[in-house]
Amino acid sequence: METPPIIPVGEKDTCQPQQQWEKDPQKNLDSTTQIRQQPQETPIEVLEQKLSPDPASQIRENPQGTENLAGGLEEDSDKSPRSASETPEPFQASDLWYCPDGSFVKKIIIRGRGLDKPKLGSHCRVLAFGFPFGSGLPEGWTELTMGLGPWREETWGEIIEKCLESMCQGEEAELQLPGHSGPPVRLTLASFTQGQDSWELEASEKETLARQERARGTELFRAGNPEGAARCYGRALRLLLTLPPPGSPERTALHANLAACQLLLGQPHLAAQSCDRVLEREPGHLKALYRRGVAQAALGNLEKATADLKKVLAVDPKNRAAQEELGKVIFQGKKQDAGLAQGLRKMFG
């Protein structure tokens, strides 16, 4: 009887399987076939990962898939972006134009085409809305000629002419006027013909136009319209500004007449300045001396007023207007002295 080999503790018996394989090879072959045909079981955790993949892992593996992922999400309707038509355009400071004399502010609604603007003699086709009743301007379409026509003699006429001088063809603008509480005033320049700048005119042409403006201003002054007369005199002076020195003698008479209008309009400071320009050219101009004396009295400069009025009376002692004005100035001076004396008595008495 054979004794089986002794296997040390901790070592596997490698001989027994081999012996079993050798004893029944057909049975072992069948079992091997079963092992190969039996499918390997998949762990539950792995199966769940295959059925529910991690979105983050998909993004890492396929960056292009983020577009599809985002496209499948429903966005909040409150946070949806507005279309370009719904978003209001921001207001630009360049859409405002301030008239240099401060008479109005132009807000550009629709920008015009090109760079050309109406000039002297340009025939303009204009659409006007919102002008107050009695302004002398018809509502709707009208045709105006720059530098010509009775429409320029009204307050609104001067404003419109200044506005048109700053507009391009096709421009639509809204005028903002100090103290005007009515509806917005709108002006559209549809078209215009080419004109001339004042500096493009010959000296003789400028003097002719200036004389026409002066004559029209005198008519308005005599008719009791100092405001319209002042506009005519002002336009005439602007025509003569570009003449070479010594300039036209018309400027002296125009400044003197403009000072008379400014006194009636309650503008003594401007009247004094106009008289200064006259006296720079003709120091002995009596009307300018008298009107400057009146303006200085209105401004409270009694000493200057007295000096000018005495110069007038030194040349023309019978000048009643100068005599009366000097009497008013002297009385006003005495009144001021009395008030000053009374104030001093209260202070030190």
Report the percent of the chain where pLDDT is more than 70.
66
Q: Are strands 140-145 and 172-176 parallel, antiparallel or unpaired?
A: unpaired
Question: Which of 196, 211, 241 is the last residue before a domain boundary?
Answer: 196
Residues 319 and 245 in one domain: yes
pTM of the model: 0.57
Short-list 195, 199, 203, 236, CA closest to 217: 236
189 near 169, Cβ under 8 Å?
Answer: yes
- Whether 13 is covered by a domain: the verdict is no
Domain shared by 149 and 184, yes or no: yes
Q: Which residues contact 151 (CB under 8 A, 6 or more apart)?
A: 136, 137, 144, 157, 160
Residues 203-225 pLDDT 10s: 888 888 889 889 989 998 999 98
Average pLDDT, the chain: 75
- Which of 159-163, 219-223, 258-262, 273-277 is least confident? 159-163
CA–CA gap between residue 288 and residue 278 (Å, rounded): 7
Same domain, 256 and 318: yes
Please report, for the domain that includes residue 204, its CATH number: 1.25.40.10
Instruction: Tell me, yes or no, whether 122 lies in a domain.
Output: yes
Q: Are residue 218 and residue 328 in the same domain, yes or no?
A: yes
State mean pLDDT over 131-149: 74
314/243: higher pLDDT = 314
- Crossing angle of helices 302-315 and 320-348, in 10° steps, is 150
Least confident interval from 103-107, 122-126, 250-254: 103-107
Per the structure, the count of domains in the chain is: 2
pLDDT of residue 67: 38
Is 52 contained in some domain? Answer: no
Residues 191, 240, single domain; the answer is no
Last residue of a domain, one of 196, 222, 257: 196
Query: Beta 105-110 vs 185-192: how paired, if at all?
Result: unpaired
Say if 40 falls within a structural domain: no
- What pLDDT, on the 0 to 100 scale, is given for residue 253? 94
Lowest model confidence (mean pLDDT) among 26-30, 103-107, 175-179, 263-267: 26-30
Q: pLDDT at residue 179 above 90?
A: no
Task: Report yes or no on 147 lying in a domain.
Answer: yes
For residue 349, being part of any structural domain is answered with no
Helices 203-222 & 250-264 angle (0-180, nearest 10): 30
**Same domain membership, residue 231 and residue 148:** no
Among 54-68, 125-139, 196-210, 287-301, name the most confident range.
Answer: 287-301
Instruction: Report the pLDDT value the prediction gives residue 215, as an integer from 0 to 100.
Output: 92
- Mean pLDDT, residues 19-23 taken together: 45
Q: Are residues 143 and 132 in the same domain?
A: yes
Which long-range contacts (C-beta less than 8 Å, at least 24 apart) are formed by 254-258?
Answer: 254/210, 254/214, 255/288, 256/285, 256/287, 256/288, 256/291, 257/214, 257/217, 257/218, 257/221, 257/229, 257/233, 258/230, 258/233, 258/234
**25-59 pLDDT per residue, tens:** 444 444 444 444 444 444 444 334 444 444 434 43
CATH number at residue 162: 3.10.50.40
Tell me the average pLDDT across 165-188: 86
Question: In the chain, pLDDT over 90 holds for what percent of residues?
Answer: 36
The per-residue pLDDT for 200 is 76
Which structural domain range is residue 163 located in? 93-196
Question: Per-residue pLDDT tens for 107-132?
Answer: 999 999 999 999 888 899 999 887 76
Most confident of 30-34, 43-47, 248-252, 314-318: 314-318
Q: Which of 133, 167, 196 is the last residue of a domain?
A: 196
Identity at 290, one-letter amino acid code: Y
pLDDT at residue 309 tops 80: yes
Confidence (pLDDT) at 191: 94
